[in-house]
Structure formats: structure tokens, C-alpha cells
Chain A
């Protein structure tokens, strides 16, 4: 077969475009050390330091952890000094990534155990805070801990600070509540914190929040300027039962917003509600009930891999951001929340709140997946793990952006996921959106518990004169799935998918 030069060039062009469009960029897994360990579950931020604009991504990092985290096919032994607190950064807008390193537990703390949080000071763009859950020495057995992580060993969180824009970090402070909880023998050695959400205010203040599983409350700590130590502020949802990770954001005027999922009703089919509150002038306002929500649904992919069922456990099933409102209505808070339809499929709803949170609601036009199964769907669709990102649009007259992203599973039996984005927007005054896959058929490799990273980051990474670049991270199993043990699997690495909008 004779192929012309023109034909060859056309094929190269198509291949080039296709390759650029969907493959993403490998963040971890490119070196032998990274490849031997797993990295997943991301938090990300950007910084500016020494004339360099930088993207930083933290993740649960088992690079070079073989000496302190030991597995058999059915067990996991965590030894003193173990750390999952690793990160990578990019100095070229995400084209290439460099491994940042691994932080070691500070004095009086035995283990740093992931669930990363990251934020950058809005007064000093070189100041970056990173958070991980932590095991206090007082709870940690001398011979190490075997099996699941629970209140018997987890007892707080530790924050590290970078003053060079995320290239290096030093220990800043650990956060722990040792007040006794009636009925708990372990709380007085440090309450069991889980999840992490960090945010920065315009005055230089830094917030760190967690769910306290000993008290079923969201706890929030504040540093006034990133130099003074963090101290707790009042509880945003007192009196409610809260089980989800929190998410927090700070508005342009310094108002702190918090959302979490609380329990609404008991019984064999309990219901849960997404709740929101604002911290203004040293006090939280009324709690606003937004809409129905879920707590950590598992996703059964209807298939098996390496001899085990392919199930995925999930992270917090809501996200929100605070950004620019429409000309005609105050929709300056927008959210996505996962719900379950009558057939048990997961779908994502989008909606808005006004800035004061006195009015919230969802739009049918911002529904992703199937909210009502009408019997015409030939294949199951599950949509979950949503993220929302706002770009305020104040640079050089660039218009505001509102982006959402989520994972999508197509098919009654599948072993892959798509990563999808969408503008949370309007056409002619109607809420309207067009979902676009930014990654398709991404292979999976969860461990036998279903773990493959519970949540991922989505953020603005670059602003040009006419476009805004967004990056959404995702766990990467494109190196192949060669091992699925109970507490670990290979390969799990971090991949970044970027797009301009």
C-alpha cells in the first residue's frame, strides 16, 4: 500500500491531537521508587515564589515506604515512623512533574497517615500549608498497628508549611483534641480526625477543617496569618450528627463557608442532608439544609479483576466553591452533590446558593447521570466524586468561569471510568450544561477493599489573556493492574488532566 507524505502527515496530526486530548500527564509513577509504591487521593494548590509559578499536588504517598508499611495478601502492618505525606510539583504549568519528597512524623507523633489537604496563603503566595492525618505516640503500639485504621490509633492531624512555594516543607503544628468523650477510652489521647479541607482568606488567615469521628462534628482551626499557631473556632454544625469529610471555602470578603453531610432520619433506610453554614464576625450563622446527600456509597462495577470483585469505595459526595455571581441573580455559591435514583444508580445534581446562604436550591438542568430511570436506558450509569471550581474572572477582564467535574461509570459490567467536566452555566436564562469527557476508559486497580484514592483535586492552574487552564487529578492505573491485595494494589499513581476553557 502506498501512502503519500501528505497522508502520513495527516495521520501524525490526528494521532498527535488524539494523544494530546485524552492521555493526561503522569505526575507519579515515572521513577522506580514511585513505581514500586502507590500514590493516590489528591489535594492541590498553586503558588508563586522566586519568580516561579508552581502547581503543587499532595497525595497518599507510599513511595519508599516498604520499611514502615508492610503488606501480605491479607494484612497490613504499620510501623513507627510511617508516612504517607508526600507531594509533587510542576514548574511548567503541569507539563512535567518533580517528586517533592516525604515528610516524617514530628516529635510525639508516630505516623502521618494521608488524607491530604493543601492551601496557599492569599497574602504570601510562597506560603503553602499541607495537612495529613496523624497517629499520636500515646495511641500507637510499640510493635506497630495491624489492619484497619480507626480511633484506636488515629488521633489528630499535622500541618507542615512551605515558605518557598511548595518545593520544601517544614513541620508547623499538629492539631488534636484530647478532651474526654464519654464512652470512649481512646478520645483522651486524641480524637479521631478524618478527611481534611484547607482554605485561605484574603487577610492571610488559614483554615484547616476535619471531621471529628469521636464527636460526629466538623472541627475548624484558624491561624490568623499563617505564622501564628492554629486554634479552634466554634463548631459549624453543633447538635447535628455529621459523618462526612468537610469542605470549606473563603469568600472574597473573608467569610468562611463550610459544608458537610448530616444525618436527617434514622431507621433501616436513614436519610442524609447536605448542610451549609457561614462564619462571619466570629460566629457561625444558621445552618442551611441544601438537599439530600449520601455518605460514602460504594460503586459495584459488575465485573471482576485478578480474581476479586471490582468495587470502588468513594469519597465525600459533594463539592462547592464561592465565585462570581450572575448579573441578575445571586448564585455566588454553586455546589454539586451525589444522589441515588430509584434503581440505585448514582447521579450528580448541581445547584446554587446566594452569598448569605439564606436561599439554596438545585437545577434540573445541572443533572449529570440519570435522576429517574424510565426503562429506556440500556446500560447502567453511575456519576460520583464531584468537584466544583470557580474562577472569579478579575484578571485582565477575563470572564468568570464555573467548572464541575466527576467520575462516570458506563455499562452494567465495566472495568474503566471516564473523567468528565462541565460548565455550571446558563443559556438564555436557563440552567444548562454540556458534559465533556476529559479522560475516557481509564483503567482501575483498587485493592480488595475498593480503595483507589477516595477524592481528587480540581483547580485553576493558569490564566492566559483569553483562557483559563483547569487541572483535574485522577488515580492512574495505566501501568497495568498486576496485584490486588486486601490493603493495597498495584499500580496506583497520580495523573493530571488539564484543559483550557
Chain B
């Protein structure tokens, strides 16, 4: 069978076989892409845009156990806290002056009535919103 193929056909088949040898491999880099150096051998002509390191980040307040039995339950599980005898959609924490307050990762006072405090987004989200980003 191989003998009956013309040189052209044989070439095509061989190229095809070689190209498919690595099944699933993507297209080879183009000549233009090959010009992109992974590490620059000449001085860079631009500086990277840097972030101001003095812009403050939120600092964690120390969590405290506030007791009580008024903690609100969230619609899809989990609950808030009972802080200073008031329902808190967040958790209890102590500020620098020793005051106990309700907060949701920096949102002092906690979340609103129809919200819950989300530990992955670190903010208030609608209580209706399912906790999509929990593990599988």
C-alpha cells in the first residue's frame, strides 16, 4: 500500500502522522510570537506601574465573644452575632478604644436587614444570594 503512494502523498501522510504524534497539542508558535522574548536581553523602555504602598489596608479588629441569644440566622445557613444585646449581621469585635461593636470585615455596624456577612467576599451581600463560592 505504501509503495503505491506517490512521494507527495507519502509526504503528506508522514507530516500528518508526525503532527498528530502529540495528540491534542496546540498550534506551534508563529514567527511573530517567536520574537517575544521571555526574558529581555535589552534595557526595558518602560517602568511597571506601581501601587502606592502607603495606601492603608483594612486592619483586622480583634474578634470577641459577645454572648446573647439574639443572633440573626441567615437564609442559606450560618448566623450573625448578638452584640450589645442587638442582632448583628456580622460579628463582634473590639476597636482600639476597647469598644465592642458589630462589624462585617470593616463595615462597622454590620450588614443591613436583608443582607448577610460573607466570609469569602469579606463584605455584605444580599441574604437571598446563595453562598456560591463555598467549596464544591
Contacts and interface: CB of A to CB of B under 8 A. Distances in A.
Interface of A: 5-6, 9-10, 12-13, 16-17, 19-25, 41, 60, 84, 93-95, 113-115, 133, 147-152, 154, 181-183, 192, 194, 213-214, 216, 239-241, 243-244, 262-267, 270, 272-273, 275, 288-292, 295-296, 298, 313, 324-329, 331, 351-352, 359-365, 399-402, 421, 423-434, 436, 438-439, 449-451, 454, 469, 496-501
A289 B26 contact: no
B40 A267 contact: no
B49 A364 contact: yes
B96 interface: no
Contacts of B16: 12-13, 16-17
Interface of B: 6, 8-9, 12-13, 15-16, 19-20, 22-30, 32-33, 35-53, 55-60, 63-66, 76-78, 81, 91-92, 105-108, 119-123, 130-136
Given A149-B136, A182-B92, A497 B106 contact: no
A436 B51 contact: no
17 contacts: A5-B9, A93-B22, A95-B22, A147-B76, A149-B136, A192-B119, A216-B60, A240-B58, A243-B121, A263-B58, A264-B58, A270-B122, A324-B38, A399-B38, A428-B45, A497-B24, A499-B27
Given A12-B12, A425-B36, 18 more contacts: A16-B16, A17-B16, A17-B19, A182-B65, A183-B66, A183-B92, A194-B135, A241-B58, A241-B105, A289-B51, A326-B41, A327-B39, A360-B51, A425-B39, A429-B43, A434-B30, A436-B26, A496-B24
B2 to A, nearest CB: 13
A138 to B, nearest CB: 18
Count chain A CB atoms within 10 A of each CB in B41, B122, B131 and give the residue with the most. B122
A133 B35 CA distance: 43
Count chain A CB atoms within 10 A of each CB in B35, B65, B135 and give the residue with the most. B135
A177 to B, nearest CB: 14
Contact of A498 (B13, B24, B42, B107): B24
B133 A296 contact: yes
Contacts of B132: 296, 298, 313, 449-451
A23 B38 CA distance: 27
A258 to B, nearest CB: 15
Nearest to A60: B136
A20 B24 contact: yes
Given A41-B136, A262-B57, A496-B24, A329 B36 contact: no
A424 B38 contact: yes
A321 to B, nearest CB: 12
Given A20-B22, A360-B51, A401-B38, A154 B33 contact: no
Contact of B107 (A266, A296, A361): A266
